[in-house]
Amino acid sequence: MHRLADIAAATGLEGEGDLSLSVRRPAEPASAGAEDLALAMAPKYAEALQAGAARAAVLWVGADWRALGLEAALFAPRAQVALSAVTGHFAPPLDLDPGIHPTAIVSEEAEVGEGAWIGPYAIIRPGVRIGAGARIGPHVTIGRGTTIGDDALIHAGVRLAHDLAIGDRVVIQAGACIGGDGFSFATPERGAVEAARSQGHVDEASRNTAYRRIASLGRVVIGDDVEIGAAACIDRGTIADTTIGSGTKIDNQVMLGHNVRVGETCLICGQVGLAGSTTVGDRTVLGGQVGVGDHIAIGADCVLAGGTLVGSDIKDGSVMMGAPAKSRQAQMEEMMALRRMPRLIAQMREVRAKLGL
């Protein structure tokens, strides 16, 4: 159980009423029981809150908690920030025992920082450096020469290849694979892609008959406070490094190709795919399933709506959507025009009928 006074102190939220009340967990307003903390951080949740049985809730600033039948309330000036604080307070502890598990294989040539934990069946290769307070989950593999910063959290089954540089407080969710070779191949002779680009068709002389592999000699370099989602894949660079700036958050099942450079404090949502040598400027947001072609430069402070397909450079501060990517204004105008098409066609038929055409 958690006292409201302790939650308020931990989260920085203002409280009123009986803050000695204890709650078990956060809950949605309509389903919250007497021992739950209802999350109703906007007026639209007032009706649902009264349908539940909560005695305490997190409310919007200015809410009349007494009129809502509550005994106490915490107030959220900004709902999403409050949600972050409250869920963080209730988050369960990491399911990992302190120290180095006896089944872990840790090279004598690896360096493990003070207070670091390493879980069952983890494999730590020679030359690896693990920072102080880092947490390495079960079945994680870390390749030769990779460095991991202080207080990093690497969840179960993550695969980290050789010679990576991972910053402080980085979180990598289960099953991510970082540092695999890039998808880089060349044809011995002029191939189909070159022909398609130059002449618009593929002829007998430009058929792909074989592929030669291009080795990936670069690294992956990840800044501080980065989070990488489950089953994400990030390829190492060919010659230069693949880089991810500090503070960037990457969702599940994201694919970043070789030589990609992502700036600081970016948000990259689920199933985004960035082809090789793409650059993304600082603070840019890529919605779910955004696809970006190779060697594309996306500027800083951009927002790309889900499903946007990018085939050319995008300047700073752009808001883009659609396939192919267009400015939000242009895309909305086209969508409105398409919605008018059936009516316009019907009107044209009427005119043709009147003219006897």
Active site members = 258
Distance (Å, whole) CA 173 – CA 254: 12
Reference 289, options 332, 315, 316, 323; nearest CA is: 323
Residue type present at position 262: V
DSSP string spanning 234-277?
A: EEPPSSSPEEE-TT-EE-TT-EE-TT-EE-TT-EE-TT-EE-TT
Reference 54, options 78, 71, 75; nearest CA is: 71
The token duo for 220 is 């992956």
Phi, psi of 346 (to 5 degrees): -60, -40
Distance (Å, whole) CA 180 – CA 303: 28
Cβ count within 10 A of residue 328: 15
Residue type present at position 21: L
Distance (Å, whole) CA 5 – CA 235: 47
